[in-house]
Amino acid sequence: MNAVDHLRRVPLFADLTAEEMVDVLRIATVVQFAPEQPICTQGKPADGLFILEEGEGAVRVRDPNGRAREVSRVRAGEVLGELGLVDGQARSADVIALTAVRAYRIDRVEFDRMRAAMHPAAYKMLRRIALTVSARLRALNAAISDQLAPPLEPQSMARATTERASRVAPEPRASRVTVDRSSRVNTATVAAAPAPARETEERSLLRSVLARFSGGGK
């Protein structure tokens, strides 16, 4: 399988034609990393993305004290740092090669030139990035909503159990679901708290992606 066919199987490039993929490869460079060599460094400006062709890497996040914690792995066919094409902000994690790694690197400056030239490939890639950020934001919002509805206290649970046991005819199941949902919505409304910084960051990134997708980003 040649490089064009191989990369078109990566979701980021799924919408590109073979000719558009050839144009993307013209601005890509092949890079290689030895085991334990850093691919990306947390805190450094994101100046492009990587598409792993061979090998495996570990994604590690360092806390303010410098302690690193592995949060995921990346393998052949996966993309690293796609948001680096959008905002050029600092990397949010270290990525360390666990094995010998061979990858394609797309430089942000070269990508911006392609976008400025109104090349369809650039806008198709930005659309895919926007969809990725949107999906992450929706998942984050769902997780926050779940956390805003605290579990019942033991006393409340015991009282609810006693009331149900004292009923001669239990309520229809549909009614109980309706009441539970109503209670959960009210609880979430009363207990609403400021969204964490991660949600704010995701929203900001999504706005940046959409601005570039519409041609407004520089």
Phi, psi (deg, nearest 5) at residue 149: -105, 90
Report the mean per-residue pLDDT for the chain. Answer: 77
Partner residues linked to 152 by β-bridges: none
Give the strands of the sheet with 56-62, arranged side by side. 38-40, 94-97, 56-62, 68-75
Domains of the chain: 3-136+206-213 (2.60.120.10)
| C-alpha 165: how far from chain center | 46
Q: Which residue has the higher pLDDT, 40 or 4?
A: 40
Question: Going by C-beta distance under 8 Å and a sequence separation of 6 or more, which residues neighbour residue 31?
Answer: 50, 102, 103, 104, 105
pLDDT digits (tens, 9 = 90+) for 146-160: 777 666 565 655 565
For strand 94-97 and strand 56-62, is the pairing parallel, antiparallel, or unpaired? antiparallel
Task: Please give the Cα distance from 111 to 1 (Å, whole number).
Answer: 25
pLDDT digits (tens, 9 = 90+) for 152-184: 565 655 565 566 555 544 444 444 434 344 344
- Asked if the model's pLDDT at residue 20 lies above 60, the reply is yes
Task: Please give the Cα distance from 12 to 143 (Å, whole number).
Answer: 25
- Asked if the model's pLDDT at residue 145 lies above 70, the reply is yes
Instruction: Specify the pLDDT at position 157.
Output: 55
Q: What angle do helix axes 120-147 and 197-213 make, rounded to 10 degrees?
A: 160
Q: Check: CB of residue 16 under 8 Å from CB of residue 8.
A: yes
CB atoms < 10 A from the CB of 13, how many? 20
Give the strands of the sheet with 101-107, arranged side by side. 28-33, 101-107, 48-54, 79-80
